[in-house]
Homo-oligomer: A and B are copies of this chain.
Amino acid sequence: MTDHLRTLFEFLRFPSVSTDSTRADAVRDCAAWLDRKLKQIGLKSEIHQTPGHPVVVARNGERLVGRPTVLIYGHYDVQPEDPIDLWHSDPFEPELRDGIIYARGATDNKGQLLAHVLGVAETIEQEGELPVNLIFLFEGEEEVGSPNLENFLREHATELACDVVAVSDTGMVGPGVPTFTYGLRGISCLEVDIVGPSADLHSGVWGGAVANPASVIARLAASLHDAQGRVAIPGFYDRVTPLEDWERQAWADLPWTDEETLQHTGASALVGEPGFSELERRWARPTAEINGIGSGYQGEGSKTIIPARAHLKISFRLVPEQDPAEILDLAEAHLRAQHHEGVTLSIERGHSGSAYLMDPHCGWGKAAQLALAETFSGTEPALIREGGSIPIVQTFKDVLGADTLLLGLALPDCQIHAPNENFPVENFEAGIRLNRSLLRCLADGFGDAAR
């Protein structure tokens, strides 16, 4: 095993699950590890406390004029490992099998984050300095919607001022296909709780006379879509920006087929909004998904009760120019308008973030695409949007005024957010090369790109 891999394995062993308050110590330890690593490679690094998990900021020294300032963002927190019984190995004890690293966070985002760190380390070691003013910004709350990062950016706007941002937290169309992502979906989340009787009731004794919270939650959940699969919340699509013709054409030409989506998801058929291709549905159309629903007895056998409570977790994926807060207003109005007697409905809003869209043909975009081509033996990068959300990207635009170059290295079967998350060693190594090309291309293109 190489030193680089050994370092990655150390990083992956922290169960830095940001949504789980019982793991706050692991998140903090992970930040401390990262801070030490950044200092070891010669950067000035500092851990900043927030009301939630810490932010780690590192830089290569004072800003030098005539060089671009490049902020590279990543996150060291990870999704929960649940359902644990579907993992073939311990999610927090990385394993290398057939050239692939298996661990929670291997791709999302520890592997991709660390590739940038190690690329910088190699450049400093071999060339004595970097060609850019570099800022690393690593947070521990991306998987819970970065609730404290916007404030952090605003409070530290001067020291974080930059010309462009780079993030490797997106995917490649396929192995060996360098991919430049110019758009992301936004997100907004809410949870619904239904309270009915004061305790679970015998469904024979009381059934027929009192409302069943499980039935109510099911009706609310079912009301999110119409029979054709469109989101049925009034006003949901009102602000949606239509796809442009060039991108529909470009995506249709991509080396990606519906068969591959079936294979990667294991679904038996593709379904979705009428009138759009599979990629259009995932990259440029908004959705409402139920992430969790629960009520009553879910164990072995039967338990003939009317459950006392029910809950529902919903997340919306949003596209330009949907406003996350407005979408939650519309959703809440839609749910509350349904008037279910005999139960109490409460709604709690979760994290949210706007969709992002940049012009892939701008100067920084071209410089990044050049670095991608260099990294992958001259192959022309695919230009895509992605269905996932990195809400902070739009916040970089709003607060720092900088566009973000999305240069991800995840493959479609890296199982991010799922059991058996993995990252090929070859992509990890490509990430290190990409960092080195990127900093050089951005430095070379500074004159043009900054226009």
Which residues of A does B touch, CB under 8 Å?
Answer: 19-21, 79-80, 82-83, 86, 144-145, 171, 185, 187, 189, 191, 196-212, 214-215, 217-219, 221-225, 261, 265-273, 278, 281-282, 285, 287, 289-308, 310-311, 313, 315, 317, 341-344, 350-351, 386-389, 412, 415-420
Contact = CB atoms under 8 A, between A and B. Distances in A.
Nearest to A390: B204
Contact of A300 (B21, B221, B285, B297): B21
Contact of A207 (B266, B310, B387, B415): B387
B290 A295 contact: yes
A303 B291 contact: yes
Contacts of A261: 206, 209-210
B199 A86 contact: yes
A51 B39 CA distance: 68
A312 B351 CA distance: 29
Contact of A298 (B272, B281, B294): B294
B418 A199 contact: yes
A223 B185 CA distance: 32
A210 B370 CA distance: 34
A282 B306 CA distance: 13
User: Which 7 residue pairs across A and B have the least CB separation, nearest first?
Assistant: A198-B266, A204-B388, A19-B301, A218-B221, A292-B296, A208-B281, A214-B290
A292 B304 contact: no
A311 to B, nearest CB: 7
Contact of A267 (B285, B289, B342): B342
Of A211, A225, A350, chain B has the most CB atoms within 10 Å of the CB of: A211
Nearest to A290: B214
Given A291-B297, A416-B202, A215 B208 contact: no
Contacts of A208: 272-273, 281-282, 285, 287, 317, 387
A101 to B, nearest CB: 18
A205 B296 CA distance: 31
A210 B271 contact: yes
A201 B265 contact: yes
A289 B299 CA distance: 17
Contacts of A311: 298
A212 to B, nearest CB: 6
A82 B285 CA distance: 42
B341 A386 contact: no
A422 to B, nearest CB: 12
B214 A221 contact: yes
A120 to B, nearest CB: 28
Contacts of A269: 211, 341-342
Given A207-B387, A388-B204, A19 B296 contact: no
A341 B19 contact: no
Given A215-B222, A317-B203, A209 B291 contact: no
B80 A299 contact: yes
A389 B303 contact: no
A230 to B, nearest CB: 11
Contact of A271 (B201, B287, B308, B341): B341
Contacts of A144: 301-302
A194 to B, nearest CB: 11
B295 A302 contact: no
20 contacts: A19-B301, A144-B301, A196-B267, A198-B266, A199-B420, A200-B419, A203-B287, A203-B291, A204-B388, A205-B386, A209-B272, A209-B281, A210-B261, A211-B269, A214-B292, A215-B225, A218-B218, A266-B308, A268-B343, A293-B293
